[in-house]
Amino acid sequence: MTCRIRKMNPQDLPEVMELLERWSMAPTPGVANAERSGIEIAHAFVAENEDGCLVGVGSYLLLDEDTAETASLAVAPQVQGMGIGAMLQEARLQEMLARGIRRVRTETDRPETIAWYQRKFGYRVVGSNPKKHAFSLPDIDTWTVLELDLEQWSRARGKR
Ligand SMILES: CC(C)(COP(=O)(O)OP(=O)(O)OC[C@H]1O[C@@H](n2cnc3c(N)ncnc32)[C@H](O)[C@@H]1OP(=O)(O)O)[C@@H](O)C(=O)NCCC(=O)NCCS
């Protein structure tokens, strides 16, 4: 399957929300203290297949001038393991780097996703955080906090 990675636009929102809902990761607009209350469209990428359907999304939030947090990365279950998640992650990391971001923070709860971030991108685990409410996996109530040194990632990538 070929698919292209492009910036998200406002018309993509319903399809993106559906995709995130597949993993119980859809933002809950208007809810105070939600894990995610929205998606920053200007900082989001989508993966679109040949039929024009969205099969992946990945975004980030700017925390301060040199730190960002990744958000809302999800690939449609039927196309997992085909490199789409890695392409979305690559696109957002490249954009963060170009903006001058140096440190990337990621919170996740799925053991296979934690391993994916460490193995493919060089993240390290720096701690954990309680979840604010049921989000993503229902039986895990903490986030594993991971960090990535973006310049180090970029240098390692250049050598590959
Ligand atoms: C994590 C996720 C974004 C990865 O995207 P993907 O397109 O499935 O992964 P890729 O094809 O880029 O990478 C495949 C690699 O991940 C591994 N992998 C991890 N979880 C996998 C899964 N559930 N299915 C298939 N491969 C998986 C494979 O072993 C493969 O390793 P390799 O490249 O060394 O062969 C995607 O599986 C997903 O949406 N997961 C559920 C939601 C989630 O955890 N989102 C992240 C929140 S922080």
Q: pLDDT value at position 158?
A: 82
**Per-residue pLDDT at 134 exceeds 90:** no
Give the Å distance between the CA of 145 and the centre of ligand 1.
18
**How much is the mean pLDDT over the chain?**
95
Contact 156, 121 (CB under 8 A): no
Segment 21-26 long-range contacts (CB within 8 Å, at least 24 positions apart): 22/74, 22/76, 22/77, 23/74, 23/136, 24/134, 24/135, 24/136, 24/137, 24/138, 25/72, 25/74, 25/135, 25/136
The model's pTM: 0.94
Protein residue with least CA distance to atom 46, ligand 1: 73
CA–centroid distance for 20 within its chain: 11
Taking only the tens place, the pLDDT of each residue in 29-43 is 877 788 888 899 999
Ligand 1 pocket mutation, candidates 57, 116, 118, criterion most atoms within 8 A of CB: 116
Give the Å distance between the CA of 113 and the centre of ligand 1.
6
Domains of the chain in sequence order: 3-159 (3.40.630.30)
Protein residue with least CA distance to atom 20, ligand 1: 112
Pocket around ligand 1: residues whose beta carbon is below 6 Å from it?
23, 73-75, 80-86, 106, 108, 110, 112-113, 116
